[in-house]
Amino acid sequence: MLLEVEHWSGAGNRFVIVDNRQKIINKQWDILLITSLCKRKNLPDAEGVLVLLELDKENSNCNYDFYNPDGSTGAMCGNGARCAIRHAVLTDNFDIIHGIKLTLNNRLYTAQIVANDRVALRLPLYKQLQLIDSWTYVDVGSHHVIIDARKLVDSIEEFHQFDLIKFANENLDFYRNKLDNPSLNLNIAYPIRDQCTIQLRTYENGVYNETQACGTGAISTAIAFWTRNIIRNTIIQLIPISQRVLTVHLDTDKQEHILGMILEGDAQQDAPSSQFDTESMQYQ
103 pLDDT above the threshold of 90: yes
The domains found in the chain, sorted by start residue, are 2-123+269-277 (3.10.310.10), 128-265 (3.10.310.10)
Average pLDDT over the chain, rounded to whole?
95
Contact between 277 and 44 under an 8 Å Cβ cutoff? The reply is: no
pLDDT tens-place string over residues 173-205: 999 999 999 999 999 999 997 789 999 999 999
What pTM was estimated for this model as a whole? 0.95
3-state class of 169 per DSSP?
Answer: helix
pLDDT tens-place string over residues 118-151: 999 999 999 999 999 999 999 999 999 999 999 9
Q: What is the pLDDT of residue 98?
A: 81
Nearest Cα neighbor of 189 from 139, 147, 135 is: 147
pLDDT tens-place string over residues 132-141: 999 999 999 9
Distances (CA, A) of 22 to 29, 51, 145: 15, 12, 39
Question: Which band of pLDDT confidence, cut at 50, 70 and 90, is reported for residue 209?
Answer: very high
Q: What is the pLDDT of residue 148?
A: 98
Average pLDDT of the residues in 59-74: 94
Q: What is the pLDDT of residue 86?
A: 95
Average pLDDT of the residues in 82-92: 95
273 pLDDT above the threshold of 90: yes
Return d(Cα 221, Cα 236) in angstroms, integer: 10
92 pLDDT above the threshold of 80: yes
Nearest Cα neighbor of 1 from 273, 191, 200, 276 is: 276
Average pLDDT of the residues in 235-254: 96
Q: What percent of the chain has pLDDT over 90?
A: 89
Residue 137 CB coordination number (10 Å): 20
Return d(Cα 40, Cα 276) in angstroms, integer: 9
